[in-house]
Chain A
Amino acid sequence: MIDFKVIGTPILLRNIKKIDPESIEAYIETGGYEALKKALKKSPDELLEEVKKSELRGRGGAGFPTGIKFEIAKNQKETPKFVVVNAEEGEPGTFKDRIILENDPHLVIEGAILAAYIIGANYGYIAIRPDYTLAIKRLEKAIQDAYKYGFLGDNILGSNFSFHLKIKRGAGAYICGEETALLEMIEGKRGEPRKKPPFPPQKGLYGKPTVVNNVETLANLPFIIYYGSEEFKKYGVEGSYGTKLFCMSGDVSWKGIIEIPFGVKLSEIISLAGGVKGGKLKAVILGGVSGSLVKYDEVDIEVDYHSLGRIQAGPGCGTIIVLNDKRDIVDVCENIMRFFKDESCGKCFPCRLGTEASYRIIKKIKEKKANLHDLFNLERICKTMKNASFCGLGQTAPNIILQSLQKFKDEWLSHIS
């Protein structure tokens, strides 16, 4: 149902629509679980070095170096340790984890087992939103089959490493994608974020060392372990190695998922999606509505952490929402702030009140009932939210608003009476 394309050779989508996702035999035939077999012959230390050398960064949004996260968890004395696969996927415009889970569930399972072996975890959860029903069904079958083949369970493939993996359904809240809120949810509590530090690799699920990783991040591990970090680094550019999935929506002719090696130009990705629909390019919302706003004259830029950093942007979780020149930036911002207002968990003031207050001001501006003072107030509230909110939700909620106030100032002013 969701279409896909690739630039170059895919790492993540290599099996998609080529093998039967409900058949473990089909996955094995394409070299599946070979990385696990190879890994079990090596020490966790060696493998950790390989992941660190690959410079793999988290694909869930923040881009944290995965190897360093593993190292922190590995060095903890406390047991048991946990691996949590973050399959909550709630950022508007994002549907990449869905396509991996539905079409290649074993890739993620193998990735989770490898992560567990490296950090010494014996238990893992795939925390998934409950409406991803097809993904849940396929994961259930895949986990069962992996147990049958001895890839999961006690003494995996005759080694002394044991790892159990289970699906954990959530109950639909955007905030539960935040890693500590996710842990609260798994523990059966309200999904409100925890104070950091301690970070999950130090004290995570039930207070034990836990790595929380995005689906796409873990899906890279089988490749890195099997082919080695050097092969992995042939994809992408310095500082941003490997490939990344991008979810195309908004004013583009073709919608779906595109896998690219890092370093491809943003304009090229848009062209591959058939170009802008219904007008000329105005801007791109990159990395989700909590991400960044790239203006039409900035899209000729390489998509990697370093290049995008120069324009205060980042790949984020890999969302591209294209806006054509008929879109009203104030209307877009109103929609975004309404989302955050609805999804704020309410734990801290700056976000609970800030999202509500800024939404009301944006609405007033859209209705042409606001004055310059309101606009100043909007900016002030947004900055307070960014600086003073308790968690990533409130800190990133005003990103697009603040960037649009810079990049499309005249358009905001034209709404002011």
Chain B
Amino acid sequence: MKEKFFQKSLIEDLLDEQNKHPQKYLPPKTLKKIAKKHKRPIPQVYSVASFYPRLSLKPRAKYIIRVCENLACHMEGAEKVIEAIKEFLNIDFGETTKDGLFYLEKSSCLGLCSLAPVILINDDIHGNLTPEKVKEILKNYIEKEKSSKN
């Protein structure tokens, strides 16, 4: 029992492998590898991976922008912030920017409602947003990327 208890669960392995991938997703060969490790049939691992919103079977991007539109964020104008992100990056939900830097997805409540409207970029919290503020934040990410390449 003790040994089994301390093992990483299938879901944790999927999360960690996904994080290692530059496009933050689970390609078929990763699913195969994990299925083998956990001695589970591949379709079963696929079925589990497809259930969870935080796991992705399609390529995403370096930065995943997760936006909340639930009541507390909605009431503070989340839709306008999201529109600004879509317009600024020229992507819709479920899409990656041409440079492969950003991917936009809806999220259920982020548990940060006192900072509404709020988004996560990977694991970083950005709260009390306005359309202007969110554009500044995205610009900073883009600047940072550019300077790290030079």
**Interface, chain A (partner B; CB < 8 A):** 1-3, 80, 89-95, 97-98, 123, 129-133, 164, 166, 168-174, 185-192, 247-251, 255-257, 285, 289, 321, 323, 327, 332, 335-336, 338-339, 342-343, 345
Contact = CB atoms under 8 A, between A and B. Distances in A.
7 contacts: A92-B70, A92-B109, A93-B71, A123-B5, A168-B12, A173-B52, A256-B114
Interface of B: 1-2, 5-6, 9-12, 14-15, 38, 40, 47-48, 51-55, 66, 69-72, 74-75, 106-116, 120, 123, 125, 127
A92 B113 contact: yes
Given A170-B11, A289-B70, A247 B2 contact: no
Given A1-B125, A90-B108, A171 B114 contact: no
Nearest to A251: B75
A93 B75 CA distance: 11
Contacts of B72: 92-93, 249-250, 321
B48 A190 contact: yes
Identify the 9 closest CB pairs spanning chains A and B, nearest first.
A188-B10, A171-B52, A255-B114, A172-B54, A92-B70, A249-B113, A92-B109, A249-B72, A171-B54
Contacts of B115: 1-2, 255
Contacts of A3: 114
A342 B111 contact: no
B116 A249 contact: yes
Contact of A171 (B11, B38, B113): B11
A249 B53 CA distance: 25
Contacts of B55: 171
Contacts of A191: 51-52
B11 A92 contact: no
Contacts of B9: 168, 186-188
Contacts of B51: 173, 190-192, 345
A255 B117 CA distance: 12
A255 B75 CA distance: 13
Given A93-B109, A166-B6, A171-B15, 12 more contacts: A1-B125, A1-B127, A3-B114, A90-B109, A92-B109, A94-B111, A131-B54, A173-B52, A250-B72, A255-B115, A321-B72, A342-B108
B2 to A, nearest CB: 7
B5 A164 contact: yes
B103 to A, nearest CB: 15
A169 B74 contact: no
A98 B120 CA distance: 16
B102 to A, nearest CB: 17
A187 B106 CA distance: 26
B111 A132 contact: yes
Contacts of A132: 111
A195 B69 CA distance: 31
A90 B115 CA distance: 16
A3 B128 CA distance: 14
Contacts of B74: 335
B114 A2 contact: yes
A332 B71 contact: yes
A173 B120 contact: no
B106 A342 contact: yes
A14 to B, nearest CB: 21
Contacts of A185: 11
Nearest to A88: B111
A339 B108 contact: yes
A172 B116 contact: no
